[in-house]
Chain A
Amino acid sequence: MDAYVHVRGLSKAFPVRRGVGQVLRGEHPVVHAVRDLDFDIAQGETVGLLGESGCGKTTTGRLLLKLVEPTSGTARIGTRELAGLKGAALRDFRRDVQFVFQNPFDALNPRIQIGRSLAEPLINAGVPKAEHADRIRLVLERVRIKGVELLERFPHEMSGGQLQRIVLARALVLEPRFIVADEPVSMLDVSVRAGILNLMRDLQDSLGLTAIYISHDLALVRYVARRTMVMYLGSLVEDGPTEDVISRPLHPYTRALIAAVPLPRVSQTRDPLPLRPGTPDARKVGAGCAFVNRCPVAIAACTAERPPLVTLPGGRRVACHLMPAATQPRPPVTLSPAL
């Protein structure tokens, strides 16, 4: 089947502030937020995009929704090439794709009532006014909010869980085909978080949505996405079925991420993190692998050359010079807590 989302060589570099010397020499230093992304997402598939803050996961989401323009590379969503999309075609595109924001307390205008917030996308998209009430009723049903009286309330009169449902409803009211959800439950209390996650799962199934779920928490990604892509400082380092990635991580960074995930049980002793002390810094990525300064198993080649993202038999992908050696268990590395 043809991919619904088709991304090739997608990169985004942001200029950074120049020093005096750089200005005089006419240099234009940049930081590569996202580098050479290649991936496909099938129609109806939900993919988790996992990584630490600053790894480029949010920029990736924004690139796919054409909220920022790439420096190079191409992205196609459905039948539309994003480059050069404008005018009526861009407006149609905007109806088909939606972004679900992290913080429901910020995502809605505090000064307008919920009902108005929900109607706004419909107005912008030129949906006839007569249809508004029906569309809003339907979408509230979908996010399982009962009671139209809520529509007259203001955001501050609602709980976080209700607000996040409204934020979801707002994203869904135009019946998009592709959504990017950026850490949609990270601001919510645990007892309501599960409700939103369950809702997202059900909606994917019932609406056949294609979705990217951005998070730094593998346990949450696992709950909503069957496939996971792991990013590190702008590059994809691993891609595969979520369960396989968890049970048999291939990239050393993924292994560290998994080792760090907190468990909600009284812990047995846990292994030290398989990481060397070092900080991720997108400005300091050299010619080699971006992870080399923290990687416990790095070899000389890792500093010299960036490992390509290779596809393994079975379809998993990983960008590591030590493949398949990297999958062998290694003696634990002693952790020194420097950051």
Chain B
Amino acid sequence: MSLLSVRDLAIDYATKGGSLHAVSRGTLEVGAGEVVGLVGESGCGKTTLARALTGVVPRNATFEAGEIVFEGRNLLGRPVSEWRDLLWRKISFVPQSSMNALDPVYRVGAQMDEVLRLRGGMGRAQARERTDELFRMVGLDPRRGTEYPHQFSGGMRQRAAIAMALALQPALVIADEPVTALDVIVQRQVLDTLRDLQARLGVSVLLVTHDISVVAYVCDRVVVMYAGEVVESGTARDVLETPRHPYTMGLTNAFPDLERAGGTLAPIAGGPPDLRHPPRGCRFAERCPFALARCRAETPPLVVAPNGHASACWRSDEAPALSELAKDPSTWTLTSTSAA
């Protein structure tokens, strides 16, 4: 059984221009001890979905449908106190900018201490011991616990945020773009730490990112979102090497690869639809070089293949052939009349 199972989650934001369907068909599973990447571009709903798992959503957001089953219990519709009970102890969160995770006016060690004592019910001595242990675990010098967040480098802050997320040994850590703001070397070091700790502690991780190379480096499975919907999911290898949805194909082409001789990168023309008025049919159709009339009329369901590789595309059966075509940059220029 999965540790976390999200099914057909729909979240709307009330905006001046009407309701914005931030997440429409959010479906994903995270198994025990698994690292799952949630990939997509800005505005695709990945952060909304990830934050929803902690029960923390903006005031103008409403859950419209679906369920969030964690350890066999549907959390949706439960009182806030019940969510709050799970936070830190069962589910913890590493935000994108660790400046947000750490309060700038408190010493880093004291913030860790607070989590351990208030949430974990530890005594003073025990909390101090655990704080030191956590610092060492993520590669920080425990003596620096007396410093303030601004005295830490970006990488150190991110390490501190990871340490805090792991403080009470949760079953699931949700990390929102944990390395996006970091330099390549620091990024690699933080990812190595994350990967190492994950393997040692067996914690499940849901890693939200726009960067498929991060997914390739740390994730067992990947879920791809586009315009509020999950369009593809499967093992990292299946999704990145034999993508079945044209959007994923486009994404993998748009990334430069240092170990492959330079060809031409192919952008995906156009931009995501306005989620206040999502188009009929497949939401990617207007940018998709392979779209048929049917794609613009009917929404393709997320179909799961026997090997667990799921995709929401009417032409999934032709994926191998389309994937070959997608590798040719000229395929993507055909529709680029409305270049973004």
Contact = CB atoms under 8 A, between A and B. Distances in A.
Contact of B41 (A190, A220, A256, A263): A190
B251 interface: yes
A270 B189 CA distance: 12
A223 interface: yes
B271 A161 contact: yes
Contact of A262 (B184, B254, B339): B184
B243 to A, nearest CB: 12
A190 B252 CA distance: 9
Interface of B: 41-42, 138-141, 153-156, 159, 183-189, 192-193, 196, 210-214, 216-217, 236-237, 240-241, 250-259, 262, 264-269, 271, 337-340
B255 A264 contact: yes
Nearest to B268: A191
A189 interface: yes
Contacts of A194: 253-254, 265-267
B241 A192 contact: no
A279 interface: yes
A264 B222 CA distance: 13
B184 A195 contact: no
B257 A265 contact: yes
Interface stretch (A66-74, A119-127, A211-219): A211-219
Contacts of B217: 262-263, 267, 270
Given A222-B258, A272-B192, 15 more contacts: A53-B154, A146-B338, A161-B271, A189-B210, A191-B251, A193-B254, A198-B264, A220-B256, A261-B258, A263-B213, A265-B213, A266-B237, A273-B188, A273-B189, A339-B159
A50 to B, nearest CB: 10
Interface of A: 52-53, 144-146, 159-162, 189-198, 216-220, 222-223, 246, 256-267, 270, 272-273, 275, 277, 279, 335-339
Nearest to B337: A146
Contacts of B255: 190, 264
A20 to B, nearest CB: 19
A162 B340 contact: yes
List 3 tightest A-B contacts by C-beta distance, closest first: A195-B267, A262-B213, A337-B139
A201 B253 CA distance: 17
Contacts of A52: 183-186
Given A190-B251, A192-B267, A263-B213, A337 B258 contact: no
Contact of A192 (B187, B188, B192, B340): B340
Contacts of A261: 184, 258
Most buried by B among A159, A191, A273: A191
Contact of B192 (A222, A277, A337): A337
A69 B159 CA distance: 37
A196 B214 CA distance: 22
B192 to A, nearest CB: 6
A259 B258 CA distance: 10
A161 B340 contact: yes
A196 B267 CA distance: 9
Contacts of B237: 266
A266 B236 contact: yes
Contact of B267 (A193, A263, A336): A193
